[in-house]
Amino acid sequence: MLALSLAALLTASPASAQSFSGSGTTVSSGTAPSTPDYYIVAPGDTLWDISRTFLGNPEYWPRLWSINDYITNPHWIYPGNRIVFRLGTDTEPPVVELEVAPPEEYRPKALSFEYAENECGPDVRFTGARDSDEYVATGFLADSDDVDIYGKVYKAKTRQYWLGEGNLLYLKLDDPDAFDCGDMLTIFRQTEKKVRDPRKHSTRYGSAYRVVGEARVVHRVDDIVAAVVRTSYSEIERGDLVGPLMPVAVELETGEPSGNLAGHIIGRPTDENHLVSIGETVFVNIGRADGARVGDTLWTVVQRDEAIDRDEEDESLPEQVTGRVVLVRVDEYTATGVIIDAARNIEVGNRLVQKVDNR
């Protein structure tokens, strides 16, 4: 399906890559069918957006990802990566490829290692303070009985399967008369019913929810409430839950971790793989009962040889700092954080500390 659609699209318009409305760079040869046209990824681009633009339908992004199995996470495309469109021949089908090794000037810097000038001492980085900045945490942990659910996304005024900003939604709510034009609602979904401690599976922390967008009520007919998506944090789907407006952004100043808090990353609001990168939301098993407060920062640390110690830490090794997390929401026994620094992939189960051993 992807190959046929791509062939039809590019055959009809050899320079179609030039129609992209984003800020990335497009190059189109307009010559032989085997000559690749490519698009250089810009900040903010996603496979969802690129599929919608180039393939005419955002629903193709999982297929785009599936034919490129070396893309371990479909959301990890960075500015400077090149999306290449190859027309193909009668014997070789057309493909869409993500070139993960762009020219040096375009290579992403977000996950590169940062080495301290002083080569002596423990492996500590990410100690600098940051001025006030906004952090967006699109998830929360809660017991299912404590979550306010008004209803669900019933249908939409579009043929797209995945929905985003500007789309008109039709909501089925338990009490439609309670909503007036202009009311704001949060759209979210449950991604995991029982978040467990990765080290002690008998310890549970409630359910994981992912906030996918916000919508504004514009009309009501009988028991159907119409609402326009004002903000989308990821793809919205029919069947997603609708509830009261939930704050997902907080403005904070951040600094070097200071204190005695320690714990683990126990989950994340997405049901995709367990690798985490800068800007993503994580859940941690530290809360108010432990003395945690909004704005606290913690380092992520590992003690392992990553080639052979995949499933457990080697406590005989020194702690290595791999990233930094800021807490943006703190509950009694858990908290929600955002990854603000990372030197490598961060995983569910990684330790969190405010003091590094032998520092």
CA of residue 1 relative to chain centroid, distance? 27
To which H or E segment does residue 52 belong? helix 47-54
Could you give the residue ranges of the DSSP H alpha helices within the chain? 2-12, 47-54, 61-66
Distance CA 205, CA 233 (A): 24
- Tell me: the pLDDT tens digits for 42-64? 766 666 666 667 666 655 555 55
Which of these ranges, 1-15, 84-98, 107-121, 338-352, has the smallest mean pLDDT?
1-15
- Tell me: the pLDDT tens digits for 119-145? 566 778 888 888 888 898 999 999 988
Pick the closest to residue 324 from 344, 349, 342, 336 (CA basis): 342
Contacts of 307 (CB under 8 A, 6+ apart): none
Name the pTM for this structure: 0.66
Which of these ranges, 88-97, 141-150, 322-331, has the smallest mean pLDDT?
88-97
Q: Which two tokens stand for residue 4?
A: 């046929």
pLDDT confidence tier of residue 102, bands split at 50, 70 and 90: very low
Pick the closest to residue 352 from 290, 310, 309 (CA basis): 290
Domain boundaries, the chain: 2-106, 130-137+250-353, 140-247
- pLDDT top residue among 58 and 158: 158
Phi/psi of residue 3, nearest 5 degrees: -65, -45
Q: Which fold has domain 130-137+250-353?
A: Elongation Factor Tu (Ef-tu); domain 3 (2.40.30)
Percent of the chain with pLDDT over 70: 65
To which H or E segment does residue 12 belong? helix 2-12
Phi/psi of residue 228, nearest 5 degrees: -100, 135
CA of residue 213 relative to chain centroid, distance? 13
pLDDT confidence tier of residue 343, bands split at 50, 70 and 90: confident
The whole-number average pLDDT for the span 289-308 is: 90
- pLDDT top residue among 4 and 295: 295
pLDDT at position 104 is 46
357: number of CA atoms within 13 Å, CB side?
11
Which of these ranges, 98-107, 186-195, 244-253, 259-268, has the smallest mean pLDDT?
98-107
Q: Which fold has domain 140-247?
A: Thrombin, subunit H (2.40.10)
pLDDT at position 58 is 59
Distance CA 291, CA 10 (A): 58
Contacts of 172 (CB under 8 A, 6+ apart): 151, 152, 154, 223, 224, 225
**Contact, 106 vs 40, CB < 8 A?**
yes
- pLDDT top residue among 148 and 49: 148
**Contact, 109 vs 278, CB < 8 A?**
no
Q: Which two tokens stand for residue 139?
A: 């998830």
Distance CA 86, CA 330 (A): 49
- pLDDT top residue among 296 and 37: 296
Mapped onto helix, strand or coil, the DSSP state of residue 85 is: strand
CA of residue 302 relative to chain centroid, distance? 22
pLDDT confidence tier of residue 273, bands split at 50, 70 and 90: low
**Contact, 256 vs 297, CB < 8 A?**
yes
The whole-number average pLDDT for the span 88-101 is: 56
